[in-house]
Amino acid sequence: IKEDLDIHLAARDGIKLCTDVFRPDVEGKKFPALIAWSPYGKSLQSIRIPPLRADNLLFDHAVEAGELEYFVPRGYVYVIPDPRGTGKSEGEWDGFLGPQEQEDIYDVIEWVAQQPWCDGQVGMIGLSYFGTVQLLAAAQQPPHLKAIMPISINDSAYLLFNPGGILQTRWLQYLLSYFPLNQQCRSYAERENSPEELKRKMKERWENDPDIQGFPYFLRVLTTWPPRFHPFLLDILLHPLDGDFWKARSNNTQWHKIKVPAYLTSHWHVGQRLGNAFPAYLGLGMDLPKKAMMWGEYWSTLELPFRYYNDEYLRWYDHWLKGVDTGIMDEPPIKIKVRGVNKYRFENEWPLARTKWTKFYLRRSGRLSTEPEEKEDVLPDGMVHIPPMVSNEVPSVRYATEPFSQPLEITGPIALHFYASIDTEDANFIAKLYDVFPNGERQLLTASYLKASHRALIPEKSKPWLPVHDHTKEVPVKPGEVNEYAIEFREQSIVIQPGHKIELEIMTMDYHPYHKATWLKIDWIGPIPNAKEIRYKFYRDAKHRSHLLLPVIPETDPKLWLQPIPDKK
């Protein structure tokens, strides 16, 4: 591997971007190139350490560019830049997935294609930020970008930081510590507003939202002047609704601009808005060569530098960048790992055509049943939210099935439709699904959030199994009024074993218990809790058939399951 470190190239406005290049040490030959892009620091990505699991003391989640030692000897150039304003590059970073960053990627792709060591074929590589940015880069339509393979992508920047419309705190330490900015950067709000206007907006944001008034950390952000304490958090706080700021950083607004082959890869994540391949797979054009792959549960398979997909990456890029017939396009377009049996199989469509959409109704005595309630005069279940200034207690209501006598496969999108009333104008709903073992142990399958004032759906985009909310506005709740709510759970694939149950839990808070061991609590709070005492009632009678909609898969053609490699002996 030949290393060319700290090469400075000029973006279209003259700003110099610093780049590392790793290429086969073969003179006179040209190779396709793979670009790994994020603002995490280029030098970090080529550090010589073995892949480390998440429980290792030296693990750093920012090491997401992949394993260059695998790809360069196999005939690829690896290019890792520092985006502007980070590391050794000039200029000012414009924030998480900003428009300027997207424009710069275009310039780097075209610069790489013109270098004497590149044959003009360019792809991209990497996990998480490195993955999501590939879709944004493809939407810029640089002529020499020939294919992408993003891993662990996010489709909506707004919902990443505001799942279900609720401000999420878990990313705040990430935003503070992952980006090696080489100068103090300004928020979008500071660049787009006069000082007087920005001061007014910061003051109003603090004074008008009781849910953030209890957090000293937010007070520091909203009262520091000049507003440089935490610039991107300031942008998050000043854009509580979806709109142009978030759409410019989201790839789900730009599917129609993507014209290159795409292999969307990710994992079954227990949280919301993280790492799902199917929004992109379904959003991209029908005629576009595309594939999707979902591997198992995230933390159990994660090692960084990332190597889990190396062979699949090589098959994809050998096909599209080298013209090698690897057979990858002869396979069905979807490959999933089914949790519970831990086996891979192919599928031809999503959701699966053979899905048996099954309603599990919320019933009296905490039951989940495929049989609905027949009576109309059934009293609702209730719970009371106590603000965290008073108590850390997390109230909840739970509903569980009887133990299953046969294996039950759930593969596809999941939705919760329920009727509830609250005695305030707004409230948080935290919904979680568990696999309950015979001994009572619970394993979290998936979680989702919804702010009551964000309950409005977009009818033309919504389906029973995929409610799509309009987060561009708030619709206050009339206290005491019974409303229907729909919550989207991200897609899952798991076989629930005989003797196990499925349990639904609806809560008001979702903080992490590890917060007790930290000084800075803000990163462990999760969705910002409501500051008022709130009384909830959940209705599940004959007029209010609250239910969990599950994609039950009755059977699978044995030929779809991937077969083990035969023993050569």
**What pLDDT is stored for residue 514 in this prediction?**
63
Burial of 85 (0-12, 13-18, 19+ CB in 10 A): buried
CA gap 241, 166 in Å, rounded:
10
**What pLDDT is stored for residue 177 in this prediction?**
75
User: Cα 515 from chain centroid?
Assistant: 23
The answer to whether 122 and 143 are in contact (CB under 8 A) is: no
CA gap 397, 409 in Å, rounded:
25
The helix, strand and coil proportions of the chain, stated in percent and rounded to the nearest 5, come to 25, 30, 45
The answer to whether 108 and 42 are in contact (CB under 8 A) is: no
The answer to whether 105 and 37 are in contact (CB under 8 A) is: yes
CA atoms within 13 A on the CB side of 357: 13
Q: What is the pLDDT along the chain (569 residues), one digit of tens a residue?
A: 999 999 999 999 999 999 999 999 998 999 999 999 999 999 989 988 888 888 888 888 889 999 999 999 999 999 999 999 999 999 999 888 999 999 999 999 999 999 999 999 999 999 999 999 999 999 999 999 999 999 988 899 999 999 999 998 877 777 777 888 888 889 999 999 999 999 999 999 999 999 998 888 899 999 999 998 889 899 999 999 999 999 999 999 999 999 999 999 988 877 655 668 999 999 999 899 999 999 877 777 788 888 888 999 999 999 999 999 999 999 999 999 999 999 999 999 999 999 999 999 999 999 999 999 999 989 999 999 999 889 888 999 999 999 999 999 999 999 999 999 999 999 999 999 999 999 999 999 999 999 999 999 999 999 999 999 999 999 999 999 999 999 999 899 999 999 999 999 999 999 876 666 666 667 778 899 999 999 999 999 999 999 999 999 999 999 999 987 777 65
b/e per residue 236-259 (b: at least 16 CB within 10 A)? bbbbbebeebbebbbbbbbbeebe
Three-state SS at 444: strand
**What pLDDT is stored for residue 215 in this prediction?**
85
The answer to whether 264 and 235 are in contact (CB under 8 A) is: no
Per the omega criterion (within 30 degrees of 0), is the bond before 529 cis? no
- Closest to 538 measured CA to CA, from 529, 547, 549, 550: 547
Neighbours of 297 (CB within 10 A): 18
**What pLDDT is stored for residue 515 in this prediction?**
63
**What pLDDT is stored for residue 569 in this prediction?**
59
**What pLDDT is stored for residue 49 in this prediction?**
84
Three-state SS at 127: strand
Residues in contact with 68: Cβ distance below 8 Å, sequence separation at least 6, in sequence order: 1, 22, 45, 46, 78, 80
**What pLDDT is stored for residue 170 in this prediction?**
74
- Closest to 276 measured CA to CA, from 292, 255, 258, 300: 292
Q: Which two tokens stand for residue 79?
A: 């290019």
- Closest to 368 measured CA to CA, from 346, 400, 330: 400
CA gap 155, 438 in Å, rounded:
37
User: How big is the chain, counted in residues?
Assistant: 569
The answer to whether 414 and 407 are in contact (CB under 8 A) is: no
In angstroms, the Cα distances linking 366 to 359, 363, 415, 504 are 16, 6, 19, 9
CA gap 266, 298 in Å, rounded:
9
**What pLDDT is stored for residue 272 in this prediction?**
59
The answer to whether 139 and 252 are in contact (CB under 8 A) is: no
Q: Which two tokens stand for residue 552?
A: 């039950």
Per DSSP, helices labelled H in 140-247 are 157-161, 172-177, 188-192, 195-208, 210-213, 216-223, 231-238, 244-247
CA angle (244 as vertex; 243, 245 as ends), nearest 5: 95
The answer to whether 231 and 177 are in contact (CB under 8 A) is: no
Per DSSP, helices labelled H in 355-406 are none
- Closest to 91 measured CA to CA, from 14, 188, 37: 14
Rg (CA), the chain: 25
Three-state SS at 100: helix
Provide the edge-to-edge strand list for the sheet that holds 16-23: 2-10, 16-23, 77-81, 31-35, 118-124
